[in-house]
A and B are shown apart, each in its own frame.
Chain A
Amino acid sequence: QKEVEQDPGPLSVPEGAIVSLNCTYSNSAFQYFMWYRQYSRKGPELLMYTYSSGNKEDGRFTAQVDKSSKYISLFIRDSQPSDSATYLCAMRVGGGFKTIFGAGTRLFVKA
């Protein structure tokens, strides 16, 4: 079983749609959960960071962590064409430095 699993997509939605992106993981020691956005041939850009379980909201973005199910989600409301990118989930154990990334989900938002 892979440590972090993420559906690579692609996911295509119309402008204004609510987008749901998800990852599952196997290592129960993960405590820090991140979502990055990566445009083609660019470095990952941190979108959301969550410690342990719960929800976090920032503008149009909401991150959810369910540690009991080992499942994390990113919701994007009122999606825009500029949201078209690859979204990477990432996670790390407490006290560690090594961040494990998912494969990334390619999102296309059509105008």
Chain B
Amino acid sequence: EPEVTQTPSHQVTQMGQEVILRCVPISNHLYFYWYRQILGQKVEFLVSFYNNEISEKSEIFDDQFSVERPDGSNFTLKIRSTKLEDSAMYFCASTGDSETQYFGPGTRLLVL
């Protein structure tokens, strides 16, 4: 069964460093998303991406964040200058019909 994959599974970085989280969505899907889940808190929407542009973003997704689909398979989330409060689990999701989203296993980001 096709699935969303994410790399790395864990990332530790120093405050102020740039990180890039990578996702490979399901191959025939057209809509891509990033969510985050701070430990013990709810899953929060960050951004959705369709047709090579951002279709919707939350107030969390400020200028420190960017997304890109650099080729036909990868979808990336970049955090330019990480803060302690960026420590969270980051989930990528994709869908082919905008109605059901399939989530990847997540990348656990720890900012020290």
| Residues in chain A within 8 A of chain B (CB atoms) | 32, 34, 36, 41-46, 49, 51, 88, 90, 96-104
Contacts and interface: CB of A to CB of B under 8 A. Distances in A.
B103 interface: yes
B100 A42 contact: no
12 contacts: A32-B99, A34-B101, A46-B102, A51-B99, A90-B43, A97-B50, A97-B55, A98-B58, A99-B35, A99-B101, A101-B42, A101-B43
B103 A44 contact: yes
A96 to B, nearest CB: 7
Interface of B: 4, 31, 33, 35, 41-45, 48, 50, 55-56, 58, 89, 91, 98-106, 108
Contacts of A51: 99
B102 A103 contact: no
A97 B48 contact: yes
Given A42-B105, A44-B91, A102-B42, A97 B100 contact: no
Give chain B's interface secondary structure class: strand
A66 to B, nearest CB: 20
A101 B103 contact: no
A42 B55 CA distance: 26
Given A44-B43, A88-B43, A104-B42, A98 B48 contact: yes
A49 B43 contact: no
Contact of B44 (A32, A96, A97, A101): A101
B56 A34 contact: no
Contact of B33 (A45, A46, A97, A103): A97
Nearest to A98: B45
The 7 closest A-B pairs by CB, nearest first: A97-B48, A43-B103, A101-B43, A97-B56, A98-B45, A103-B42, A44-B103
